[in-house]
């Protein structure tokens, strides 16, 4: 209860009592009688209003006077009335919906978003950081690995081979592969070991030739004239000459023959049952051979660490979140009507929540009031409205004094 109104009320009552007592000696005079009547009426008015105000909360002077201590005795009625006023007068469904709908307009929402853009950026960064740290990779990775395994199993191997063969031929990769092999073959054929091996093979072949007559004489003479080293040099030079010619001339007959065979083999891969069977088996074994889950988990942890570092050093907020939110706000400012459906949906949801939970407002008020005992409840009410009630006592004393003057004046005139 406010001290100033209470002290003023006590002072007004004291003034009336003092005036009433002090005017007894001069009551025989007209002015004294007039003042005495005024102070008497003011004292009665002040005491009556003190009694009325006190009777709201407790028994005046502790006397068991009927119809006093109204609040404690009628607590249930007061609570019911308060709940009824809250539900049906102050916080009605329509008033709540109207207030909420007044805020849920495109202009207000966009203005709010612009004013609190920094808060939105901080919230988005914090949510992203928290969500990333709490992401259960150990539960996600098996699901992802299972999906990848299924996707790999559903791939059409023949179709993939067909695409690969078409791409290989259209991009000339088959010819490049042939040139690569020819270059490797040239390097291999130019080695000393190959020359010696060719010489030994040629000498052995000549030794195994069975010929008679002039042919036998010629073969024997040739074999005696040519050593293994000479045979190896001759065959190596012939082989290298052909390999170099095949590399140098695209229209070389042998090159074209090998290339045609290579292309037929590549084009026939999609229909090659053996190749398809082996590739399908390899495809099924690939995830296990790669330890797919282990690699995915390691990759996920590395990606999370890099992303968290990116978020924490401020680049995420400055380069991603802020531009994205600012662009979103600007886009809706240029076309605020696009927000109307979303806000209408939100208004409907809030209206549904209000309809479902409006009765809980009264229940909440009742529950909170029921937690208070009478003394605490009276103290709380006196602190909130007691000051205004004390002015009733002041008004009673002052008005009583003025009315007393008028009545006593009428009495004297009559």
What confidence score (pLDDT) does residue 283 get?
84
Helix, strand, coil percentages in the chain from 3-state DSSP, rounded to 5: 85, 0, 15
Q: Contact at 8 Å (CB) between 149 and 287?
A: yes
Helix intervals (H) in 226-321: 228-248, 253-267, 273-290, 292-312, 315-316
User: Per-residue confidence of the chain (414 residues) as pLDDT tens digits?
Assistant: 445 666 777 788 888 888 888 888 887 788 888 888 888 888 888 888 777 777 777 777 666 777 666 667 777 787 777 777 777 777 777 887 888 887 778 888 888 888 888 998 999 999 999 999 999 999 999 999 899 888 888 888 888 889 989 998 999 999 999 999 999 999 998 888 888 888 787 667 655 554 444 444 454 544 455 567 777 788 888 889 999 999 999 899 999 999 999 999 988 888 888 888 888 888 888 888 888 889 999 999 999 999 999 988 888 898 999 999 899 888 888 888 888 888 888 888 888 888 888 777 777 777 777 777 777 777 777 676 666 677 777 777 788 888 888 888 888 786
pLDDT of residue 386: 63
Give me the pLDDT at residue 210, please: 47
Alpha carbon distances (Å) from 281 to 254, 266, 274? 36, 20, 11
The H or E element containing residue 388 is helix 374-413
Residue 260 is predicted with a pLDDT of 93
47 within 8 A of 62, measured Cβ to Cβ = no
The predicted structure's pLDDT at residue 35: 87
How many angstroms separate the CA atoms of 266 and 289, rounded? 27
Q: Quick check: 186 and 247 in contact, CB under 8 A?
A: yes
CA distance 127 to 311: 11
pLDDT for 183 equals: 93
Q: What are 112-115's contacts with CB under 8 Å, separation 24+?
A: 113/325, 113/329, 114/329
User: What pLDDT score was predicted for residue 109?
Assistant: 83
**What's the sign of the alpha-carbon dihedral 367, 372, 378, 382?**
negative
Per-residue pLDDT, 227? 64
* Contact assessment for residue 343 and residue 105, using Cβ atoms and an 8 Å cutoff: yes
Q: Is the pTM of this model over 0.95?
A: no
Q: What is the pLDDT of residue 213?
A: 44
Give the CA dihedral 324, 327, 333, 339, nearest 10 degrees: -40
Whole-angstrom distance between the N-terminal and C-terminal Cα of the chain? 45
Report the alpha-carbon distance of residue 36 to residue 269 in Å, rounded: 128
Angle between helices 93-103 and 340-370 (to 10 degrees): 140
């Amino acid at each position: 209860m406010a001290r100033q109104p209470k002290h003023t009320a006590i002072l007004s009552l004291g003034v009336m009592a003092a005036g009433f007592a002090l005017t007894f000696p001069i009551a025989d005079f007209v002015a004294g009688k007039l003042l005495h009547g005024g102070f008497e009426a003011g004292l009665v008015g002040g005491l009556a209003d003190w009694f009325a105000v006190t009777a709201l909360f407790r028994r005046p002077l502790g006397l068991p006077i009927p119809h006093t201590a109204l609040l404690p005795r009628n607590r249930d009625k007061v609570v019911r009335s308060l709940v009824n006023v809250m539900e049906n007068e102050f916080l009605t469904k329509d008033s709540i919906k109207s207030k909420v709908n007044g805020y849920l307009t495109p202009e207000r929402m966009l203005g709010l978003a612009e004013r609190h853009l920094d808060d939105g950026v901080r919230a988005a960064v914090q949510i992203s950081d928290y969500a990333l740290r709490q992401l259960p990779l150990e539960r996600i990775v098996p699901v992802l690995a299972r999906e990848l395994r299924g996707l790999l199993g559903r791939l059409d191997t023949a179709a993939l081979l067909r695409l690969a063969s078409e791409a290989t031929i259209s991009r000339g990769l088959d010819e490049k592969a042939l040139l690569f092999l020819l270059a490797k073959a040239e390097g291999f054929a130019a080695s000393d070991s190959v020359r010696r091996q060719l010489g030994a093979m040629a000498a052995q072949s000549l030794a195994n030739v069975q010929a008679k007559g002039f042919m036998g004489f010629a073969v024997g003479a040739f074999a005696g004239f040519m050593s293994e080293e000479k045979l190896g040099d001759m065959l190596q030079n012939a082989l290298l000459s052909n390999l170099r010619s095949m590399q140098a001339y695209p229209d070389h007959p042998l090159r074209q023959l090998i290339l045609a065979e290579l292309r037929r083999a590549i084009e026939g891969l999609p229909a090659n049952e053996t190749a398809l069977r082996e590739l399908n088996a390899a495809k099924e074994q690939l995830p296990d051979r790669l330890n797919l889950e282990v690699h995915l988990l390691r990759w996920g942890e590395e990606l999370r660490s890099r992303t968290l570092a990116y978020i924490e050093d401020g680049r995420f907020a400055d380069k991603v979140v802020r531009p994205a939110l600012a662009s979103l706000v600007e886009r809706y400012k240029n076309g605020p009507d696009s927000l109307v459906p979303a806000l209408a949906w939100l208004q409907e949801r809030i209206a549904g929540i209000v309809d479902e939970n409006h009765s809980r407002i009264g229940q909440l008020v009742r529950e909170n009031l029921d937690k208070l005992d009478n003394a605490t409840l009276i103290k709380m009410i006196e602190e909130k409205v007691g000051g205004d009630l004390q002015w009733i006592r002041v008004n009673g004393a002052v008005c009583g004094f003025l009315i007393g003057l008028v009545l006593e004046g009428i009495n004297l005139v009559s």
